Amino acid sequence: MPLFAGIDAGSTTAKVVLIDDAGAVVARSIRPGGANLAAAAGAALRDALSAGGAERDDVAGIVATGYGRNAVAEADRTVTEITCHARGIFHLDPTVRGVIDIGGQDSKAIVLDPSGNVVRFEMNDKCAAGTGRFLEVMARTLEVPLEDMGRLALESRDPAVISSTCTVFAESEVVSLAAQGRAVEDILAGLCRAVAVRAAGLAGRARIQPPAVMTGGVARNAAVVAMVAEKLNIPLTVPPEPQFSGALGAALFARDTAVPQPPRVSRAQEISS
Ligand SMILES: Nc1ncnc2c1ncn2[C@@H]1O[C@H](COP(=O)(O)OP(=O)(O)OP(=O)(O)O)[C@@H](O)[C@H]1O
Ligand SMILES: [Mg+2]
């Protein structure tokens, strides 16, 4: 049976999803990106093939997406990130109308119509504040594992106020709050809130409506998800594998080549995303 691969070469991690011709996920893999996104993407593809018990020749089509998509040598073609995220999420749940993706370097808010077309989107890729990178820097400063950050932040009863929007100044603020004896939970809650406020601002500009989901690596931080939902005053759900929706969308586009599907977005949207 032919397989299809989607590679999301993000700024921080490379994700691969392998699907079969029925669109079922056969394997997933993720690698840290670092400076060499192309190498990470190639390694993630090899990991996914070995996890799926498949060979390179079993793969009939490969689509790359994400920040580093043009550097992925293994890809047959590329599709823009917004289009792939929308496609992946709509495949998982066609009732979804809003997607908020916070990755390592940017955040995006996407509005879908009932057919899964991208109606509009907003993106912030100017600054590390409000992204996963900001949280990574702060987790390191506070010596808290990234995966514990959300759980600990939710334990805070008195979140600290982080007033700097700049990552560098916010880091000094964190060091100073810690030196003053402020509880780590409170500082973490303040940091998650700072990211959530920015994401909610972006989602507000995109006029996100429910049912809406949160994706990207930062969707694994339960405090940020809860705070964005609170700010927007709408419920937000997180799909089971929130970091892989772009790669899933790319894999579905790869499958289209062999199994044609109706187009999801207009040409104009594709060019502008
Ligand atoms: N277990 C985890 N718990 C909480 N946060 C996490 C976890 N794993 C990753 N993250 C966050 O996810 C971010 C990376 O997300 P993701 O893999 O979606 O980024 P990316 O797609 O490479 O970046 P971009 O889309 O901005 O180009 C990290 O910066 C980190 O903040
Ligand atoms: Mg991404």
Asked if 112 and 222 sit in the same domain, the reply is: yes
The protein residue whose alpha carbon is closest to atom 5 in ligand 1 is 218
Phi, psi of 225 (to 5 degrees): -60, -50
From CA 267, how far away is CA 170, in angstroms rounded? 41
User: Which residue has the CA at smallest separation from atom 31 of ligand 1?
Assistant: 132
Distance CA 139, CA 133 (A): 10
Q: Does one domain contain both 10 and 82?
A: yes
Q: What is the mean pLDDT of each run of 10 residues along the chain (273 residues)?
A: 96 97 96 91 98 96 97 97 97 98 96 97 84 94 97 97 88 93 97 96 97 98 98 97 98 86 52 51
Q: Return the ligand 1 atom nearest residue 81 CA.
A: 25
Residue 221 CA: nearest ligand 1 atom is 4
Relative to the alpha carbon of 219, which ligand is closest?
Answer: 1
Q: Show the ligand 1 pocket: residues with CB < 6 angstroms.
A: 10-13, 33, 66-67, 103-106, 132-133, 135-136, 146-147, 149, 216-218, 220-221, 243
Overall pTM > 0.85: yes
Same domain, 145 and 72: no
- The ligand with the least distance to the CA atom of 151 is 1
Q: Which residues contact 37 (CB under 8 A, 6 or more apart)?
A: 9, 10, 11, 14, 67, 68, 71, 72
Residues 121 and 1 in one domain: no
Ligand 1 center–CA 54 separation, angstroms = 27
Instruction: Give the tokens for residue 134.
Output: 């900001």
The protein residue whose alpha carbon is closest to atom 10 in ligand 1 is 217
Ligand 1 center to residue 218 CA distance, Å? 5
Judgement on whether residues 254 and 225 belong to the same structural domain of the protein:
no
Residues 46 and 143 in one domain: no
Q: Which ligand is nearest to the CA of 125?
A: 1
**Same domain, yes or no, for 140 and 255?**
no
pLDDT at residue number 184: 97
Number of domains the chain is built from = 2
pLDDT value for 267: 46
How many Å lie between the centroid of ligand 2 and the Cα of residue 85?
Answer: 9
Same domain? For 75 and 107 the reply is no
Q: What residues make up the domain containing 148?
A: 95-238
Task: Identify which ligand lies nearest to the alpha carbon of 133.
Answer: 1
Q: Is there a single domain that holds both residue 229 and residue 266?
A: no
Residues 1 and 112 in one domain: no
Q: Are residues 118 and 231 in the same domain?
A: yes
CA distance 253 to 247: 10
Q: What is the CATH number of the domain that holds 123?
A: 3.30.420.40
Q: Which helix (H) or strand (E) holds 200?
A: helix 184-205
Q: Which atom of ligand 1 is nearest to the CA of 11?
A: 27
Both 157 and 207 in a single domain?
Answer: yes
How confident is the model at residue 262, as a pLDDT?
A: 56
